[in-house]
A and B are shown apart, each in its own frame.
Chain A
């Protein structure tokens, strides 16, 4: 693989950009792999990447029914933060956030990580207490966050209206090294690095069956024929239940639509990410100038990658009071993705009842921020059989009552 660098750009500029090579190969599947990952979203690709990088396992295929990054990874609003309440969450999300800091260098691919700072607004007394508690928990977990006053919020976000009649801003939980990254680039960067290690990223190939013998996985059936493997990682977000059914087990997951939208581009006016969980909306400004807006999930099981329009309206209406300047903005695009929700709003990274099958899912509305940490843990689990980071995220925690309850910290979808 030829490295990207300023010299490469100069060289190519002098020869009309004819020398760029393809970022990744487009191979046909082999008969057999040591490990197959189903789903070329961020989590699947990161899993494959760390299998190779940390454990030297490179006879790996990543199988994707659509195009890589075309699932939730390419549909999300790219908020990155690690200000969670529970210790296992703080550990894996902060691992992920710290890996984002050096991801561009690590992958030799500009993922445009922008630790511009992130504020979660406290707009009720209850939220004030909740976020103060989170700030204390984060201090003990080694995650840098602080609770700031309304005046400090105003300094960071001049366009905010502190005195909303219904929900005045009473303070905020600030994570200075939270922010955003370019979602496609994360998928593309990992894919390029995986391909470079000799792994096969196979697109437009749907897994239609999981083959087992004597309680152990032996391979998958796909639209490009049967492919064998010793280990199988299921990393398909909203389609987790469909794959689990093929493999013969159930998971505590429901699939629902989550939507987002962007406005027409405007001049730079907000250089932090702001989340308003009480009114259910959040907003950041993209490098192109668009205001990127998201809110809550739709209310019913859905696989259509489309959501209900009134939810979009509710989200924008909710943000209007806190950000009066958006009331005249035209909205450009709106889209949806199918997110995989668990009961405690925490993910599942786990062995399964079938020997050799591992599952990574349940990231729901907030898994983009976790991609590198999740891949790191999932690779370790698949390679070694256990991973400290994934320890508590196993699928049996529900029946054991060992929830990792983040429904408070993740009051809004992001």
Chain B
């Protein structure tokens, strides 16, 4: 079972306590933006066989949203961090680089 540490309450939360929320770090494009941006925001998602940044909610715990970096093929978790972050913290990026040299995801690498 997938276990993620909630960065708010510190609990090692099991998957049954959590609710997945899809891709993290989405930049919102509203009405008035061009078709490419709007399509990207609404429908196109990162779907790599490799690194993924995603949103989770500690639904049956403290209730807070947080973000996680996870490998989609080994399920290794590289770390979790607060939902307010606009970019993954450096130590998580470093942990990913150690396993996946040259990784790239959205605007991050």
Contacts and interface: CB of A to CB of B under 8 A. Distances in A.
Interface of A: 239, 241-242, 245, 250-255, 299-304, 308-310, 343, 398-399
B35 A301 contact: no
B19 A299 contact: yes
Contacts of B15: 308, 310
A340 to B, nearest CB: 9
Given A241-B48, A299-B19, A303-B73, A398 B2 contact: no
B73 A252 contact: no
Contact of B38 (A239, A242, A255, A399): A399
Given A250-B44, A309-B1, A398-B42, A303 B35 contact: no
Nearest to B68: A300
A242 B2 CA distance: 24
B90 to A, nearest CB: 24
B43 interface: yes
A258 to B, nearest CB: 15
B20 interface: yes
Contacts of A309: 1
Q: Is the interface of A mostly helix, strand, loop or mixed?
A: mixed
A252 B72 contact: no
B2 A301 contact: no
Contacts of A299: 19-20
Contacts of B91: none
A308 B1 contact: yes
Nearest to A342: B43
B27 interface: no
Interface residues of B, number: 26
B13 to A, nearest CB: 13
Interface in B7-56: 15-16, 19-20, 22, 35-36, 38-40, 42-45, 47-49, 52, 54
Contact of A241 (B36, B47, B54): B47
Interface in B36-89: 36, 38-40, 42-45, 47-49, 52, 54, 70, 72-75
Given A302-B72, A398-B39, A252 B19 contact: no
Contacts of A241: 47-49
Contacts of B35: 399
A242 B44 contact: no
A305 to B, nearest CB: 10
A245 B43 CA distance: 16
B3 to A, nearest CB: 11
Contacts of B40: 250
A343 B72 CA distance: 20
B43 A300 contact: no
Contact of A252 (B2, B45, B48, B70): B45
A254 B48 CA distance: 9
A84 to B, nearest CB: 21
B47 A301 contact: yes
A399 B54 contact: no
B49 A242 contact: yes
A398 B43 contact: yes
16 contacts: A239-B49, A245-B48, A250-B44, A252-B43, A255-B47, A299-B19, A299-B20, A300-B2, A301-B47, A303-B72, A304-B72, A304-B74, A310-B1, A343-B42, A398-B39, A399-B36
A302 B75 CA distance: 8
Given A254-B47, A308-B2, 9 more contacts: A250-B44, A252-B45, A255-B72, A301-B52, A303-B49, A304-B72, A398-B39, A399-B35, A399-B43
Contacts of B49: 239, 241-242, 255, 303
A255 B49 CA distance: 9
A302 to B, nearest CB: 6
Contacts of A398: 39, 42-43
